Amino acid sequence: MSVLIKPIITEKITKDGEVFGRYGFVVDKRVNKIEIKKAVEAAYGVTVVNVNTMNVGAKRSVKYTKSGMIQAKTNAYKKAIVELKEGDSIDFYSNI
């Protein structure tokens, strides 16, 4: 079971990373905060101070087309915001 699925790279999370040392990840729905902390520390070699998690629900939409109504749905996922010790940072762009 992979704990960290992918990092969240948006303008808001990037600004939080620069200013407050907070980074976002999409994580597996079944993991808890302790497992997320251990996974981030092992993967990036940093010290995690705080972990906040939230479950993002699925969003449904209806599109009206020439052929009729089409219903669509986005997937639900779990998001984790990880705060690092002052002085630590994660560089997602180092291996590009």
Average pLDDT rounded to a whole number, residues 45-51:
95
Cα angle vertex 72, ends 14, 31, to 5°?
50
**Is the predicted pLDDT of residue 1 greater than 60, yes or no?**
no
**Is the predicted pLDDT of residue 95 greater than 90, yes or no?**
no
State the greatest distance between any 2 C-alpha atoms of the chain, in Å, as a whole number: 56
Indicate the pTM of the whole model.
0.85
Render pLDDT for 58-87 as a digit per residue (tens, 0 to 9): 999 999 999 999 999 999 999 999 999 999
pLDDT at position 55: 97
